[in-house]
Structure 1
């Protein structure tokens, strides 16, 4: 009997092929993907350092590969010059590496001098350069788009988009020398008053300042339909109403009861009864701080609080130079009751005032959170009547001893140390910081100049373009 073995042979062949295919796929998923994921898990700086160590005979190729996680073949190719020294993936950029480096310097220099650039301004400048040199590119009308800007920021991580803080020309004129002089004057004045020991007693150093809180602060970005054109949010209170609160803190991290100022000639009873215990209540026609209201705070809240808490006199009360803080009546009262008033350096409160530097930001974040919760829980508007109890919730949440003490520490007020001040906030000092940037050396007076065309000329000059 003849047996046909062909079906069995075919079966074995198919089974073998399937097994090999399964093995190949498993190998691919096991090794192929892992190799792909491991690609470039080292930085350019690590690569350069590894190559340098090999050249200096501090490491051999195997040791460097193991230490930095760089393939041996990559290190070998770098050492032999088979590949460029700088790794570059993807197509070449429209601007050369040198041109982009100069563009980065230009952007950073202007930002450090107080003239940060809008992305559209950068695109316009590049467009002008490309039109002058007539370099082929894929841009519409030689102007880069959003994608180019995004990739440029990825290639230059030192440049980033940030929200700016607007400061006046007066603040921009504050210098490190002026701040150090102010510290010297404060110390000399306390010595002349035989009160230098105050500087070593945090419980005797105070800072008072007022801030405005909106009854309807901006909520920021909220969730909603993607393509919904008119996206509204019901206001939590009168949209433009702002209530003034006067806060006072000591370098020991202690809070003096605050004062809330209302725009009334005669304060309604329901507002008076809503005030938290021991808090002050003030009034003025505008709702802002005025000299009479500040005098009431010092005489009726601050000084009694000092006596009640057995604070050793004299004490130092640091204020900004606003006219509402200085009056003849207040001056005489403070002399009589051993309260030393001393004004902070003009236009330097963003550097020297603990309230501004550390406390008020946290307070306003907490206030915004309280407003949001009020809308979610009760749907009731925030009014002058319920403001104080709600604000107390934010005050208790935000004002922590460590936050207050940090404010006094970073401003150099306690411990008393002029070197603790962040002098990088002095705009007028920044030309010294950026001298290594060649791009700003040709700018004659960068702090006072608002002529952006001059900086464009500098960019074009350093990119090798001389159209003028």
Structure 2
């Protein structure tokens, strides 16, 4: 259960989600749950069924602390959740340091051990609330609920915020998630009907591909002195992120990328490696991006539209987890006849998939040329500038819009 030795309130609590897969772990703070963590998890899947297990407290020191300070709780078990999708098995649990998510190919990999520690006396608990209706709850919706309920901000307390309480809370969320998903689980056809109604109400003609834009983000994890792949990278401890904001239209016209990075990395970022891009250093990485940053982003778009004689109005599709764009920029955009609209589900075909492929190719070429096994942070811009050349193509732009049937009929 992860008991703190000196008191019921844990001083070890990090306010982070730990994602463990293939013997490697990554850490995510609250602001990274609905973007970077979802990107790392990849394609969303429905949960087929869910089980509740209990086991002995994993850390022997925990057992001692329980016995010495709280002897009545000596026989308390660690409780955790195991669930299955079509492709994966997951475990979800809380201790005095993290909320931990494990993923593996078999139930055994997540049920019988936590990271490299074997669980003992593991048994399934019979709880009626853990039944999951078919196609009602997805992995991503569960992460969204962790974010919505501020699960990382609650902390850990032996008396009323331990592993058992966390499992009970998740079970209570299930009906709410199901109801939310029923309201949100529209088909692509229904989404298009909603878009058509919106365009009609705003009196926007959807006939010019130059006036149809996409805006999204890509997160590049930093670990120690290295830059890792934007998704699927195996790292031991994640320090911060470099976040790249990208905008382009259905005609394949790309705005130069905006690179946002933690201010503490100022001396490691070589801006000359991609001097055409715009750079923003912020105190705490992506969490500190403010209204000024977003306002200038849309001012840049307005300038681009004017200089390229694209004309107005324009429609700007936003990936589903980029709510910050809407909160900070919707007033400015509508005043200038630029209209934001959420895309259908997680648009990996627009940005994440082609960007990851371009980065992999550029990184491999740089490593081979320079006889290196990793990408140091001070070489990020050099490698990314090459990746950008491969990514920013008419084919990639049109493929993204085509995937969601968003190319205008002309």
Q: TM-score, normalised by structure 1?
A: 0.44
Question: Which structure is higher in helix share?
Answer: 1
Which one has the bigger strand percentage?
2
Larger CA Rg, structure 1 vs 2: 1
- In the superposition, the TM-score normalised over structure 2's length comes to 0.49
